[in-house]
Structure 1
């Protein structure tokens, strides 16, 4: 179990999402919504392009915390608000999302960790917070 103090910054994590990742995630999750693979359908709905699944972005974000923990089972609560989509271009570069995290509160053996997710120059998650068991 980790120890934590207010203000502790966890090591950042950058994840690159490519179209093939969206296809794999669609297969695993069963979410085949065409906004996750069709430029034409995304544009028809007013989106700036094909977007990553929100739950894929959410799962990627919590890795900044679980990678830091000695035991991922010490994660006891996690939630986010989706504020902007992650647009994934149809190229070899994909979309890079950088996650950072900072301990905001420590009390009663629990630490509250705020997570920031930046794609391009846009913050894509709001109020992303994990609660973990600490010493």
Structure 2
């Protein structure tokens, strides 16, 4: 699948509409199985609190993946992402209820590069708190 966003139709400042991704305790259990990361802070409240956390927290890589999902959905091709990196700012705390939390991700094109590439800077928050910092992707556009 090729990127569906045309380079000549994207300008610096182009906004990628924000998306909200729900995260519940069940999401974390599924991610444990998919990733093989069964660290107890991601599913056991007692252990998470004994480690100094406010509650069970989402895997950092899960949060990072949700931010990347915004970009891959926008560009239309996961293979169009050539570079991607983030810094983890705060954990995503996931309560033990039927609602969980949401990670809200938004993006903006901050630079156009050669070879039909663009830099996208991302913001990711949960409960109004920035959970990722310096989140940046370089994508190849059509």
Tell me, in whole angstroms, the C-alpha distance in 1 between the residues paired with 2:84 and 2:42.
24
1:12-31 counterparts in 2 under 5 A? 12-31=18-37
Aligned length: 135
Instruction: List runs of 5+ in structure 1 lacking aligned partners.
Output: none
With normalisation by structure 2, the TM-score equals: 0.92
Among 16, 28, 40, which residue is 1:34 paired with?
A: 40
1:1-135 counterparts in 2 under 5 A? 1=3, 2=5, 3=7, 4-108=10-114, 109-135=116-142
Give the match's secondary structure for 2:109: strand
Give the match's secondary structure for 2:75: coil
In the alignment, is the contact (CA less than 8 A) between 2:75 and 2:141 conserved in 1?
Answer: no
With normalisation by structure 1, the TM-score equals: 0.97
Instruction: List runs of 5+ in structure 2 lacking aligned partners.
Output: none
Tell me, in whole angstroms, the C-alpha distance in 2 between the residues paired with 1:132 and 1:112.
7
State the Cα distance separating 1:107 from its structure 2 match. 1.5
Tell me, in whole angstroms, the C-alpha distance in 1 between the residues paired with 2:49 and 2:124.
24
Q: CA RMSD in A?
A: 0.9
State the Cα distance separating 1:99 from its structure 2 match. 0.2
Deviations 1:43-65 (A, max 9, x none): 10110100000000000111111
Give the match's secondary structure for 1:104: strand
Deviating 4+ runs (over 6 angstroms):
none
Tell me, in whole angstroms, the C-alpha distance in 2 between the residues paired with 1:99 and 1:62.
9
